[in-house]
Amino acid sequence: MKLKKQVTVCGGAIFCVAVFSLYLMLDRVQHDPARRQNGGNFPRSQISVLQNRIEQLEQLLEENHQIISHIKDSVLELTDTGAVSPSGQLPFRSANGSWVLPFDGRPTFLSVKPQDCQFALVEGHYSMLDVYSLLSFDNVDGGVWKQGFEITYEPTEWDNEPLQVFVVPHSHNDPGWVKTFDKYYNDQTQHILNNMVVKLAEDPRRKFIWSEISFFVKWWESADAHKQDVILILGGQLEIVTGGWVMTDEANAHYFAMIDQLIEGHQWLEKNLGVTPRSGWAVDPFGHSATMPYLLKRANLTSMLIQRVHYSVKKHFSSSRSLEFMWRQAWGTDLFCHMMPFYSYDVPHTCGPDPKICCQFDFKRLPGSRVNCPWKVPPRAISDANVAERANVLLDQYRKKSKLFRSKVVLVPLGDDFRYDKALEWDQQYVNYQKLFDYMNSHPEMHVQAQFATLTDYFSAVYKANGVAQGQRPPGYPVLSGDFFAYADREDHYWSGYYTSRPFYKNLDRVLESHLRGAEILYSLAVAHARHAGMEGRYPTSDYSLLTDARRNIGLFQHHDAIAGTAKEAVVIDYGTRLLRSLIGLKRVIINAAHFLIMKNKDVYRFYQTEPFLETDDRRATHDSLPQQTLIELDSSPRYLVLFNPVEQERLCVVTVLVNSARVRVLTEDGQTLPVQLSAQWSSAVQMSGEASFMARLPALGLAVFHLYDSVDSPMTLRSDTLLRLPGRSQSVRGIDPLPVLQIVIGEINTCEIIRRKDDPQEVRVQIQFFTYGTRPSKDKSGAYLFLPDGNAKPYTQRDPPIVRVVEGPLFAEVVTYYQHFQQTIRIHNVPGVDGLSLDITTMVDIRDQTNKELAMRLLTDIQSEDTFYTDLNGFQIQPRRYLQKLPLQANFYPMPTMAYIQDSQYRLTLHTGQALGVSSLASGQLEVILDRRLMQDDNRGLGQGLKDNKRTANRFRLLLERRSSSSRAVDSGPVSFPSLLSHMTSAILNHEVLALPVIPKKRGVPPLRTFSPLAAALPCDFHLLNLRSIQNQDAHSPSPYTALLLHRLGLDCGLEAQNPGFNCSTTQGKVSPRSENRGSLVIPMSLTLMYSAAPLSNSSIISLEPMELSAFKLKLR
């Protein structure tokens, strides 16, 4: 604070450098005998270079004496290390000025077998990329079916084969949107389900479908035994569709969470209802991902339905009768999919092409009701007098709709949001429709068979009509690959805003997911070890309820109005509060499991609920605040620090902890002193506290124990150099000394240039620039869903040049640039392997004083990517994209849950992200990400609010530049692409941070601890351990003896330069031995949601996965 004032007084003409740590270091270099012994021959010339530099810097300091003295004090305080006593090996500067770390004594290797890079791409189908190239997107008026065309038919068409009509009553229940989950339940959902029990039981011909298990569980748990009994005997009348905890968002959700909420729903259904869902139902997610058919297929569903697809795509598919197709993955599996043809899933848009007619068959809108038909023709109750006329009018719509499909079977959903909450509505719909059906079915000349149905009734009829088994491809039906983003429901209203809306919570969700996975794995391992040691009674197995709570809250957040950022402010607070509660719970599960697992002697293990053994790594004061790292208080006695590596590979990384001392010494478990880089943690541009960074090698999924001392004797502690550039000095400052792989050069305002290091003959320039979008001046404006920019982005400007701070030390260097609305931190880790091969970028955004603005970060490069770029779907697969000039700007944005890349024949640049955001490539060589959006108005999709609750948000990225080899270029035009192994690893370390858990000091001392490494042998490096999920016991609050192991074999592009990942990495043609990997005695292959099992693997057999395969196994850990 004090410093800030001084800056103002000085008028800004300041350029200063804090070099005091350098002084001390230089001093030590000259007098440190160990230095010379280590072969770190410090050439005389080098020292004089340093001295010269210091002199230059001092000269600058003179000019800004006041400010410097302040920083000097702080830095000195932080870096006063006292006496020097050499031990271990120090990092040193090489002749070219770069830092060199001592060899850590462990060679690593990379062995990826060529046969693990090959994919049997399935030919003979068409892709959505082709469809997009083909379409003109002209939006001509289609008549009564505005976005379609006129449909005609011959009245005799059904004479030989009558039309089968399946009317499927449904009620779309959002688990939070305009109201919170609980409020919806109390106001509407409980009444819907209560009425359902009564009204379905009245007539066995009545059917109903339900999809959101979150609501169903809440109702079931409060329902009386009678209602529960009725549900159990309803049998085929009630169908559970999809059976997920929610109907997930498909743009922003990560496949870990999509699967987890599906398991949670399916496990509940199996235990309580004995039901196994057959068909998927997704009428409201704002665009559809190709990951869904794969997940549903692996969960043994046979068919699925989607609704929100671009109106031009719907029209195209309708005209070619391709609305039902096999939705295929590039690696071959597919699922039968039905795409609804019209505008919406409400009644006016489901009976046929004419909403004016269909609305007349929504009997909730009978005169006198609160809802009516906007087409001005109200429904009429069906009577003997009008039934003939009404039945014929409705049949005309059914027939027209059926003309869009290949079989003489037509699906007619009958419902809307929160429908059927009143008994009256059940009577209105079911009684009137039954009269219509009775009339139709009793008049053979109409050639129709109409009935209430479930979704699976419909699909079964389609398969039967085509003479194929459930889930098989009917002859002649198309096969399609690709996805359905971006969604537009009308005009140029593209729903590409919600890819970024409320990024704070998109980031929080990812943090929760990583904690959930970590907690599941450690809990499963700890319980298994406790059982094995006969100590189950002493371990807090009741933590299982914390896991359940977190699974369900994270599941709830995958709902298409939750992670999408499209709920009302009060509902966002409700979600945030649930997530924070679960985060605290998960941290408790993690520290409780870690406590048990690191005890050297389990006999002295004691668990006290009120006395945790470990502290958490960080803390959030509220659901909408950023985390505060835990301060480790050091004194003369050692502090133990436990590091948890949630990644399934060994990890060599820089770990940074907050300490209260500048004299920290870090030892490994076996007493080896580690080099420590001391730097300041800057709570503002100019305020700091102590940060100790060290390089740690952590076992896969393991817990490593370190010792921290406040030690005057800490020769391995090295201070960072700090350099500040304040406004008023326009000349560019020196760059950071060359670091192992990458180099950062600070350019003028609004840019940061990154240049490939010199070991590559060719430099690739990567500039980072910032831009803003406004929204349109009139009529339709951007909101939570829609992105409607006012033209191209404008460069972000501010009056003064930004403050730039550069920190450099042996383990990392960083450049922090402070703008008015954001701060960008770019950090390079100087360690071998994955952690050192990419730039770590954090963009702290705060646009709360803006009006109708969206902030974008643009990467500009020399890469000749032309119009092609690549984005991931749900962190699971990569989808090639093409920038299309014929579409408006906002149509060219796509979801980016984990990564996006551009490439040419030589390079690939991948931006990895730690939260879902919207991305595009608007010109060759560019990638652009929307960081946050502040919008003052509603965009007319029912929310009734703008986006005005922005938070201070930390968006996290990793930027990776890779060189391509010739072998990979052939596939560039194909419908499929994969990240490299290094890219997968980079994404893993970004999304699964190391947790630093300090052991709380005990009065009677801490019992002996030891590092815990669960894997007997390394997993092949193309295997991702998605989860090790403890399976629930019948009593719901404790674990069964079984654990679900979920494995994903990653798809690899091996055509990128192989870099040493820093650990031993090999591939095995998809084979892994379960006994050695997971210490299981019994391994049962399961469907993805654990509902179906195959014969157990014999002890000698091995797990074998195809590339991209996701598989679940049930096993008993021991």
* Catalytic residue positions, numbered: 284
Minimum distance of Zn ion from residue 210's CB (angstroms): 14
Nearer to Zn ion, 173 or 673 (CB): 173
Minimum distance of Zn ion from residue 554's CB (angstroms): 18
- Stretch near Zn ion under the rule CB under 5 A, chosen from 279-287, 872-880, 893-901, 1006-1014: 279-287
Contacts of 451 by beta carbon, 8 Å cutoff, 6+ apart: 165, 166, 167, 205, 437, 441
Q: Which amino acid is at 17?
A: V
The one-character DSSP state at 491 is T
The CA dihedral of 530, 532, 537, 542, to the nearest 10 degrees, is: 50
Distance CA 914, CA 993 (A): 10
Taking the CB of residue 254, how many other CB atoms lie within 10 A of it? 24
Q: Beta 479-481 vs 126-127: how paired, if at all?
A: parallel
Distance CA 642, CA 646 (A): 13
Residue from 508, 564, 497 nearest 248 by CA: 564
Three-class DSSP category at 794: strand
Minimum distance of Zn ion from residue 489's CB (angstroms): 13
Question: Of residues 1037-1066, which lie at the interface with Zn ion (CB under 5 A)?
Answer: none
Nearer to Zn ion, 942 or 1001 (CB): 942
Q: What do you get for the CA distance between the two ends of the chain, in Å?
A: 56
Residue with tokens 């986006």: 947
CB 647 within 8 A of CB 688: no
Residue with tokens 């797990």: 1103
Taking the CB of residue 456, how many other CB atoms lie within 10 A of it? 22
CA atoms within 13 A on the CB side of 589: 31
Taking the CB of residue 769, how many other CB atoms lie within 10 A of it? 18
Contact map string, positions 1 to 30, toward Zn ion, x by CB under 5 A? ------------------------------
Nearer to Zn ion, 181 or 682 (CB): 181
Nearer to Zn ion, 172 or 588 (CB): 172
Minimum distance of Zn ion from residue 342's CB (angstroms): 17
Q: Would you state the structure tokens that stand for residue 888, as one six-digit string? A: 């408006």
The CA dihedral of 951, 518, 545, 209, to the nearest 10 degrees, is: 70
Nearer to Zn ion, 284 or 939 (CB): 284
Minimum distance of Zn ion from residue 562's CB (angstroms): 10
Contact map string, positions 168 to 197, toward Zn ion, x by CB under 5 A? ------x-----------------------
Q: Would you state the structure tokens that stand for residue 928, as one six-digit string? A: 């652009």
Minimum distance of Zn ion from residue 303's CB (angstroms): 21
Instruction: Give the count of residues interacting with Zn ion (CB under 5 A).
Output: 2
Distance CA 302, CA 293 (A): 9
CB 348 within 8 A of CB 373: yes
Minimum distance of Zn ion from residue 173's CB (angstroms): 8
Contact map string, positions 128 to 167, toward Zn ion, x by CB under 5 A? ----------------------------------------
Q: Which amino acid is at 332?
A: G
Residue from 960, 995, 1017 nearest 630 by CA: 995
Q: Would you state the structure tokens that stand for residue 464, as one six-digit string? A: 């039967």
Residue 249 lies near Zn ion (rule: CB under 5 A): no
Nearer to Zn ion, 396 or 561 (CB): 561
Three-class DSSP category at 664: strand
Q: How far is CA 302 from CA 463, 469, 470, 604, in A?
A: 11, 10, 6, 53
Nearer to Zn ion, 559 or 1049 (CB): 559
Minimum distance of Zn ion from residue 943's CB (angstroms): 11
Minimum distance of Zn ion from residue 560's CB (angstroms): 5
Distance CA 1098, CA 773 (A): 60
- Stretch near Zn ion under the rule CB under 5 A, chosen from 283-291, 545-553, 658-666, 878-886: 283-291
Minimum distance of Zn ion from residue 170's CB (angstroms): 12
Closest-approach residue to Zn ion (CB)? 284
Strands in 1050-1095 per DSSP E:
1065-1066, 1071-1072, 1080-1086
Nearer to Zn ion, 116 or 174 (CB): 174
Q: How many helices (H) and strands (E) does the chain have?
A: 22, 52
Minimum distance of Zn ion from residue 359's CB (angstroms): 20
Question: Of residues 483-522, which lie at the interface with Zn ion (CB under 5 A)?
Answer: none
Nearer to Zn ion, 187 or 763 (CB): 187
Distance CA 296, CA 1042 (A): 23
CB 1070 within 8 A of CB 115: no
The arrangement of strands across the sheet holding 279-282 comes to 126-127, 479-481, 324-328, 334-339, 303-306, 279-282
Strands in 118-217 per DSSP E:
126-127, 163-172, 208-210
What is the Cα gyration radius of the chain? Answer: 31
Minimum distance of Zn ion from residue 178's CB (angstroms): 10
Tell me the Ramachandran region of residue 143: left when phi exceeds 0, alpha when psi lies from -120 to 50, beta otherwise: left
- Stretch near Zn ion under the rule CB under 5 A, chosen from 277-285, 426-434, 532-540, 906-914: 277-285
Nearer to Zn ion, 174 or 489 (CB): 174
Q: Which amino acid is at 738?
A: P
Nearer to Zn ion, 174 or 324 (CB): 174
CB 303 within 8 A of CB 471: yes
Nearer to Zn ion, 566 or 983 (CB): 566
Nearer to Zn ion, 246 or 899 (CB): 246
Distance CA 1063, CA 243 (A): 40
Residue from 1032, 1074, 1061, 1027 nearest 1047 by CA: 1027
Minimum distance of Zn ion from residue 258's CB (angstroms): 16
CB 249 within 8 A of CB 897: no
Out of 212, 249, 284, 574, name the contact with Zn ion by CB under 5 A.
284
Tell me the Ramachandran region of residue 398: left when phi exceeds 0, alpha when psi lies from -120 to 50, beta otherwise: alpha
Residues near Zn ion (CB under 5 A): 174, 284
